[in-house]
Each structure stands twice: as structure tokens, then as C-alpha cells.
Amino acid sequence: MTDNAVIRVRDLNIGFHDRQQTWRPVLRGIDLSLGQGEILGLVGESGSGKSTLATAMLGLLRRGSLVRTGEVSVASPAPASASTSATASTSTSHDPLHDEHRQLSFHHQPGRWLGELRLGLVSQHAEKAMTPHLTVGSLLCETLLSQGVKGKAEREQQAVAWLRRVHLPHPEVLMQRYPHQLSGGQQQRASLALALAQRPRVLVMDEPTTGLDASTQNEILALLASLRAELGMSIVFVSHDLGAVSHLCDRVAVMYAGQLVEVAATRDFLNGPRHPYGHALLAATPGSQCYRPDAALEGTPPLVGSAIKGCAFAPRCPRASETCRDSVPSWQGPYACHHALEGHESVGRAHAESGKSAESSENAKSNAATDERADSVKNDLQPATSLDIAPLLAVESLNLCYRMPGWLARLRGETPALTVSDVAFSLQQGETLALIGESGSGKTSILKALAGLLSPVSGQLSLRQESLAGLVAERRPVQRQKIQYIFQHASTALNPRLTVFESLAPVLYRWFDLKGDGARQRAQSLLEEVRLPALYLDRLPSQLSGGEQQRVAIARALAAEPDILLCDEITSALDVSVQAAIIRLLQRLKRERGLSLVFVTHDLGLVSHFADRVLVLRNGRTEHLGDVASLATGDLPPYVQTLMEAKLVAA
């Protein structure tokens, strides 16, 4: 794959200077290449440097970052094809590469060179990649105009075709919508359409499927595979989802603490990773050959920018020796490790070693949690009225829309176009209700209504049998405290000018009158609960990875000590090890505090292991409501069965 490399990275070291002007490395000595027509997966925990490396391959850096040594070079492209149509047939011959490679200069903002070299980017934060005051149609038509499509009618036709190709429903309607009027999954697909309309040679995709349901994810992965075949397009696919990586990528590059630790063909990696860290990731991934339900990757990665002696993974590795702690391992073929695993059976033995010390305690916790969840589900099978237990939260005949008709439209008898129609459910104390369904099915709209961010057209909300006003400003203070919302996109939910502590402090003061040292101590304990070091209290959101930002958002919601936590895709940006830690934290809070959760997710594996009941939505209507065990039966509506069958596993 490296002989015909379209991008080469040589000895790349990227970092930043802190306030004391000490150099803090983020990427350490990266050597990597991307072949023409290759799909390369970058995997690793939050803060491992995946996004930094992926964007650096396009010549992009975060503000404040510097390249200390190394270079990135890109093969000079052949002239771009004149056709940009999403529906046009394309030649099966791929663009030839010129012999020379062009060394990239590094910039903090995308520039014209991306178009000249036909390089594309699908950002992790799709909403930030789209101009908020332009409609989706205007954005696409501008892109097509830059690609040489002159006629307005032709541009609009091709824009609709691209939206349809990324499986967005009713593309003619979505053309008229602004980015904020789309769901998270719809924003991601619109951002993907914008990138694909440029027909790039190289496409860097940073967590592009986190907001997509399983069936839509399958369709997008199939689209990417077909475009690779049509255009010879190369893709760098950054993801925490090893299931998606296993189905799409040719090679996998595993990163840890800013270093590459293993680069291998996807099939070889899945069958038997050689580096203990790669195995630990697979062991925590449901569906993989290495998966173990009691697997836990203990400890945390080194702080971003910290000094490292020896192997960075040694403090967490069960096979570590004094050699590992003292000397940096050199590359041995596809991996860099002093004590690499030998094949699949050795991997199994190594995992047994890693789990041995914690096995009994972890099993006890797991069994206790399982028994408790089973008891909860058993109770939920009977109506609350028969047990004479009033629900904590009740929703009756809920109808929602994004925009109410104006007074003139109401005079003409026009009715609002409902995004959620006649939805009803209840939530008991200590219960987790999962909301699942395709992107745009109304899941987030329901959460916003529960939080008081979207006023219902009609319907009734009640908390502890007391009516809840439609808007949060009209609710009593105790009601506002007891229902907390964790947004899907933590980057937009955190004030970019405030440090982590400055984001947590107002919550602690508002509800518990904590300030000064007391507030700081409580903030430290909140960060510990979400597996972040206390040093992060003084960092800005821009200095955190996407997964770290999400954990700060979770800590801020927990700071109010709510009764109900509204979770909008809160684990989609988290790697499997941190995801497991967050789920264990929420399970513990359920046991200790009786915390209840309404949990929006596309991860059906997570639903089956974590939720008590499930509400399946389709086009804003209830398709199925029942205990989570009902998903394992064959007696399901066809739509629900389709969702279950679309689940991807790392195999």
C-alpha cells in the first residue's frame, strides 16, 4: 500500500508551548503513508492524537500547535474531472499520481490549497463545518459552483442528488433548511455531501458516523466503499467504532499517547493484535473475537503533552517489564512492543493475565449490577398502577414541532408540521429508558421538550405528579435542578472562553452555594468520576479532545446532583474504554442515588447491556415500547427488526 502513496508522513512531531514555554508533545515521531484508493482507520483512546494526525495529513493544525520536526507530502494530482454530478457514471480508471510529492505547509484554517490538491475534510463537529446563516442547498450550490457547474438549475439538481446519495430523506425539503434545523445525524450526512461534492482524491473523516443509526451507518459505509471503487479515492477514517472500522478499512493504525503502536491489515488486527493495547481495545468491544464482558482497561493514558519514559503503555500493561519502563520499543514489523503477543491464543492468555487480579471483584460488581437490572426489568414488566407506584416522570400525548405557523397562516387554518406526534411514556426512579430510531426520528426533540428547551404544541409533562411547564424559564428552581441535559455536541455546549473549572463553578454555586476551595475540591472529584485528571480544571475546551470535552459536559450535568439525566448520544464520541467507565459510573449513580436516565443512542449493543426499557421512534411516532428483553424476541415490528439486523460488530 505504500509504494503508490498519495500521502506520506515522515518523523512528524507536533506539540505546543505551555505558559512556562515548556514544549508539550502531542504527536511523537509519526511515520505513516496512505496508498491510492486505500481506506486507513485511525483508532485509539481520546487524546491519543488521532484527530491531530488526520488533520495534519491535510496540512491543518489546531491554533497554538507547532510542527517541531518532520513533514507531510502529497502526490501531485492529475487535473480534476470536469464532472461533479452525484449521479453521473464515472470511469473505472483512477486518477494517476505524478511521480513528485509536494511538501505541505501547515495552516490553522482550511485554504485554497485543499481544493488545488483535491483534499477533503469531514469534521468531527459537523455543525461547525457549515455556515449557519446559509441553507443546506445554498452551501451545496456554492460548492458545486466552485467545481465548475455553471447553471443554477443544474447545481440545484446535483445538490439534491448528493443529499439523496448520503441517504437524507426528503432532500428537496432539507435544501431549504439551515444547519441548526437538522438533527445531529442529518448534519453529519449534509457535511459529508458537501465534502463528496468536491470529488476529492483524499478524504479525511473525523468520527463521521457517531450520530448515525445502525442502518444509516451501513448505507454510508457502503457509499464510501463504492466511491473508493469509482474514484480511487483514499480515505483516512478516524473512529472509536471498531465495528465500522472492521467493515470499511483496509488497514488499521492504532495510536496511544501521540505514538503509533501498531499498523496492520484490518483482518490481521481483528484476528490477533500484536500490541497489548490493541488487544485491550478489542477486548472491550462487544462482538469482537477478543471481547470479554468483564474486560476493563484500568488506568488512564498519559496526559497530553506529558514527558514519557520508556513505553507509554507500560503503566497499564500486564506484560510490562523493567525494559518496558526504561526504553522506548522499536518497530518490529507492524508493531512497536518489547513483549508483543503471539497470535490469537497468546492474546487470550495475555488477557487472562490482565484480568486475573481484578476478575473476582469485577465479576462481583458485574453480577450485582446484572441482578439489580434484572430485578428492575422484572418490576417494569408490571404496570406502575398495579404496584401503586407513581412514575417519576410522565409524558402524555406529546406533540412537537420546530416552528409554529405565523398568525396569518393560522388564520388560513394551517396546522404545524409535527416532528413528534402523540408520544407517551413514563420513567420510574432508578430506571434507564433508551430512545432509539433513525436520525431525524424525533429523539432529540423529545429530550429538548423534557428539558424545557422546546415548548410542546400539545401534551402533558409531569415530574413527581407535578405539572412541568413547557419552557425551562417557567419551571420552579427545584424542577430545573432535578432534570439535567447532556448535549450531543460537547464542543458547542461548553463556553470556549471558560476553563473547565469556570464551567463547573457556577453550577456548584447556584445549587449548593459552594465557592473557593470547596468548589474546587468538588470540581476535582467530579473530574475523577469521569476519569479526567485534576490538572484539566485549568484547561480550555480547545485544549481537550472531543471525548474529553464530552466527559467535562457529563461532569457539569452531574454537578447539580439531578434525579433525571437526559443523555443525547453522550457516549458516541468516547472510545470503548472510557465509554465502559462512564457506563459503570452511571450504573453506580443509579444504585446509590436512584438516578434515572433517558438515554438517546444509536448503539444497540449498549442498549441491550445498559437500558431497562426501550422506546423505538420512527418519523416522530412510537414504533415500539417495552422492556429491553423484548428486543431479543422475534415478535417485533418490521422497522425495529431492521434496526436490530443493521448492527455492526468488530468481526
Q: What is the 3-state secondary structure (H, E, C) of 43-86?
A: ECCCCCCHHHHHHHCCCECCCCCEEEEEEEEEEEECCCCCCCCC
Q: What is the pLDDT of residue 412?
A: 66
Q: Find where cell 436512584 sits.
A: 594
Rounded to an integer, what distance in angstroms lies between the CA atom of residue 539 and that of residue 523? 13
CA 505 to chain centre: 26
Q: What is the pLDDT of residue 516?
A: 94
3-state secondary structure 466-518: EECCCCHHHCCHHHHHHEEEECCCHHHHCCCCCCHHHHHHHHHHHHHCCCHHH
Does the pLDDT at position 82 exceed 60? no
Q: Is residue 429 part of a domain?
A: yes
Cβ count near 229 (within 10 Å): 13
Same structural domain, 280 and 243? no
Same structural domain, 53 and 11? yes
Same structural domain, 71 and 206? yes
Does the pLDDT at position 94 exceed 70? no
Same structural domain, 339 and 451? no
Host domain of residue 507: 381-645
Same structural domain, 87 and 205? yes
Q: What is the pLDDT of residue 283?
A: 84
The 3-state DSSP class for residue 331 equals strand
The 3-state DSSP class for residue 370 equals helix
Q: Is residue 389 part of a domain?
A: yes
Does the pLDDT at position 304 exceed 70? yes
Higher per-residue confidence, 380 vs 511? 511
Does the pLDDT at position 87 exceed 70? no
Provide the phi-psi class of 561: left if phi over 0, else alpha when psi is between -120 and 50, else beta.
Answer: left
Tens digits of residue pLDDT in 417-460:
788 999 999 999 999 999 998 888 899 999 999 999 999 999 99
Lowest mean pLDDT among 92-96, 221-225, 320-324, 399-403: 92-96
Q: Is residue 193 part of a domain?
A: no
Q: Give the model's confidence band at 164: pLDDT under 50 very low, under 70 low, under 90 confident, else very high.
A: very high
Cβ count near 271 (within 10 Å): 15
Higher per-residue confidence, 617 vs 646? 617
Question: Which value, to the nearest 10 degrees, does the dihedral of the CA atoms of residues 332, 337, 338, 340 take?
Answer: -90
Rounded to an integer, what distance in angstroms lies between the CA atom of residue 67 and that of residue 15? 7
Q: What is the pLDDT of residue 360?
A: 39
User: Which grid cell is 440?
Assistant: 431525524
Cβ atoms 49, 12 nearer than 8 A = no
For the segment 201-228, the average pLDDT, to the nearest whole number, is 85
User: Which grid cell is 322?
Assistant: 523493567
Query: What whole-number percentage of the chain has pLDDT above 90?
Result: 51
Does the pLDDT at position 159 exceed 80? yes
Tens digits of residue pLDDT in 21-36:
999 999 999 999 999 9
Last-in-domain residue among 345, 369, 393: 369
Lowest mean pLDDT among 74-83, 135-144, 376-385, 565-574: 376-385
Q: Rounded to the nearest 10 degrees, what angle do helices 152-165 and 136-146 cross at?
A: 110
Q: Give the model's confidence band at 635: pLDDT under 50 very low, under 70 low, under 90 confident, else very high.
A: confident
Cβ atoms 562, 483 nearer than 8 A = yes
For the segment 353-357, the average pLDDT, to the nearest whole number, is 43
Q: What is the pLDDT of residue 277?
A: 94
DSSP state string for 543-575:
GS-HHHHHHHHHHHHHHT--SEEEEESTTTTS-
Same structural domain, 239 and 346? no
Last-in-domain residue among 327, 346, 369: 369
Last-in-domain residue among 314, 343, 369: 369
Cβ atoms 532, 552 nearer than 8 A = yes
Q: What is the pLDDT of residue 644?
A: 80
For the entire predicted model, the pTM comes to: 0.75
Same structural domain, 284 and 230? no
Higher per-residue confidence, 481 vs 440? 481
Q: Give the model's confidence band at 184: pLDDT under 50 very low, under 70 low, under 90 confident, else very high.
A: confident
Does the pLDDT at position 139 exceed 80? yes
DSSP state string for 398-460:
EEE-SS---HHHHHTT-----SEEEEEEEE-TT-EEEEE-STTSSHHHHHHHHHTSS--SEEE
Q: Is residue 182 part of a domain?
A: no
Same structural domain, 224 and 334? no
Q: What is the pLDDT of residue 204?
A: 96
Q: What is the pLDDT of residue 582?
A: 80
Q: Is residue 626 part of a domain?
A: yes
Q: What is the pLDDT of residue 357?
A: 37
For the segment 34-57, the average pLDDT, to the nearest whole number, is 93
> What is the CATH number for 464?
3.40.50.300
Q: What is the pLDDT of residue 380?
A: 40
Same structural domain, 263 and 285? no
Q: Is residue 169 part of a domain?
A: no
Does the pLDDT at position 334 exceed 80? yes
Q: What is the pLDDT of residue 235?
A: 96
What average pLDDT is seen over the chain?
84
Same structural domain, 624 and 484? yes
Q: Is residue 538 part of a domain?
A: yes
Does the pLDDT at position 344 exceed 70? no
Same structural domain, 88 and 35? yes
Higher per-residue confidence, 383 vs 481? 481
Question: How many structural domains compose the chain?
Answer: 3
The CB-side HSE value for 248 (13 A sphere, CA atoms) comes to 31
Same structural domain, 78 and 227? yes
Q: Find where cell 401503586 sits.
A: 388
Q: Is residue 167 part of a domain?
A: no
Q: Which of 335-349, 525-539, 624-638 is most confident?
A: 525-539
